[in-house]
Structures are given as C-alpha cells and as structure tokens.
Amino acid sequence: MTTLAILTAAGSGTRLGFDLPKALVPLRGLPLVLHAARRLTASGVVDALVVTAPNGLVSVMSDVLEHDPHVSVPVVVVAGGTTRQSSVAAGLTRARADIDTVVVHDAARPLAPAAMIRRVVETVKAGHQAVIPGLPVMDTVKILAPRGPVEDARGALPAGVERVASTPARTLLRAVQTPQAFDRALLVRAHSAGAARARTEATAATDDASLVEALGEDVFVVDGDELAMKVTTARDFYYIEKLLTEDGR
C-alpha cells in the first residue's frame, strides 16, 4: 500500500496579512509548509509528497522543500488553482500509478502531530475509505435561515440581523481539521464530480470530505488534535508559536 500526501500551500494568506504567502511565513525560523512536510514525513506512513504552490512560486517552494534533510520522501511541487479545491485537484493529477491512499493536508496546519497523521491514514488502510480528524465543539452553534424569498416574505431584516433557523445538538458536532485521508479512487471520483460546482471561492468545497459526502459515500471521524489548529489570522500565528514552544519542538 502506497500513500501520497497532497500538501496544500497555494493560498495567499490574505487574512494573515503578512507580506508573504502564508505557507512561506517562518514560524521559529522555518516556513509553515516545511513544518507540515516534516511532520508528514515523520509519521512514517507517507511515501511521497505533492505540494501546491502559489502561481509563480513553484521554484521557490521547491527550494524550500527539496534541500531539507528531514523531508526524506520524494517531493513534487505543482502550481495550485484559484481555490483550495482546485489546488487539491491539481495535486491529484500528479499521483503515481501505485498510489492507493491519499492524505490531504494544509500547510496552514503546521503542527499536526505525526500520531494524528498515522491515525487517519491507518483508519483508511483498515477499510474506512474516507477518514477525517475532528474535535468536539465548545460553543453552541446556530444555523441561520437563508436569505431569500421565503425569508423576505416574513418581513425584511435590517442589515446585520439574521434569523436563527435551528440549533444542532452540540454532542453531534465536530470541528474538523486536516490531514484528511481517502482511498485514492474515491477521492478522484469526488473531485471529478465536484469540479463543476467549484468555480469560485464561494462555491468551492472548503474540505475534501464534503466532496465525498456529496457522492453519498460515508465519511468517518477520528480524534483530532489541538496542535493541528489552522493558522488563519495573526492571532492564530502568535498562539501557535506559543504552542510550538510548549510542545518542545
């Protein structure tokens, strides 16, 4: 059994607001993408790596990854697409014929621990074809009534005011992370079916599991890890710097 990791690193990091694409921002001296690539390698369950780079930065990204002594698996860098979904699809086209399992991971989650990477990949290898890590949700979450003719018929709402439609049971909610692992054929099928719906950031899937769900196939959740939190804003970045120090790595 051979596993490919697609490491998404083609985003611009607009919400982080630094003057570099997010994946290249140094965390304790190492670019985020390199932290993530090292952990994928250290998991021992990843045989090859495809990294998506921002347009025009393929060779910069290659330089970062190819000369790192801790990234001991073959690395291919490809130009990403305009959405995360299309970046993953671009990465998938570079999977060698012998790959049967694909794990998709975000460079924006640089500290996802090796044990967690093993957990999702091994659960796929044990026969569950789509496996994602998730954490219990601490806040009560509300689902809003969609804006549209039905909502308007109830009376116009002022700007900044939304009506609540329902409250899902918190015990049934999970905040999901990456890495997400899949049987290769299933992930390819999910991306082919999802490609038509993904023209813009607003319509593209924000994770790969939702494309599998859209096929009507089962997706399974295993325990996530706080260390796998995503760096979106500057506050996340400073928090993760602190986590890294406490984690001793």
Residues that bind ligand CTP (CB under 6 A): 8-16, 22-23, 52, 80-84, 87, 106-108, 230, 232
Residue 194 binds Mg ion, judged by CB under 5 A: no
Minimum gap (Å) between residue 180 Cβ and ligand CTP: 12
From the list Mg ion, ligand CTP, none, pick the one residue 59 interacts with, judged by a Cβ distance below 5 to 8 Å according to partner type.
Answer: none
From the list Mg ion, ligand CTP, none, pick the one residue 8 interacts with, judged by a Cβ distance below 5 to 8 Å according to partner type.
Answer: ligand CTP
Site string for Mg ion, 139-158 (x = CB under 5 A): --------------------
Residue 11 binds Mg ion, judged by CB under 5 A: yes
> Which one, 76 or 145, has the nearer CB to ligand CTP?
76
CA distances from 179 to 20, 116, 127, 246 (A): 23, 8, 17, 22
From the list Mg ion, ligand CTP, none, pick the one residue 123 interacts with, judged by a Cβ distance below 5 to 8 Å according to partner type.
Answer: none
> Which one, 218 or 241, has the nearer CB to ligand CTP?
241
From the list Mg ion, ligand CTP, none, pick the one residue 106 interacts with, judged by a Cβ distance below 5 to 8 Å according to partner type.
Answer: ligand CTP
> Which two three-digit tokens encode residue 163?
């009506």
Stretch that binds Mg ion, among 8-16, 118-126, 140-148, 165-173 (CB under 5 A): 8-16
Closest C-alpha to 108, from 201, 242, 11:
11
From the list Mg ion, ligand CTP, none, pick the one residue 75 interacts with, judged by a Cβ distance below 5 to 8 Å according to partner type.
Answer: none
Stretch that binds Mg ion, among 3-11, 58-66, 70-78, 239-247 (CB under 5 A): 3-11
> Which one, 183 or 207, has the nearer CB to ligand CTP?
207
Is residue 36 a contact partner of residue 112, using CB atoms and an 8 Å limit?
yes
Minimum gap (Å) between residue 11 Cβ and Mg ion: 5
From the list Mg ion, ligand CTP, none, pick the one residue 207 interacts with, judged by a Cβ distance below 5 to 8 Å according to partner type.
Answer: none
Measured CA to CA, the distance from residue 101 to residue 31 in angstroms comes to 26
Instruction: Please report, as ranges, the residues that interact with Mg ion according to CB under 5 A.
Output: 11
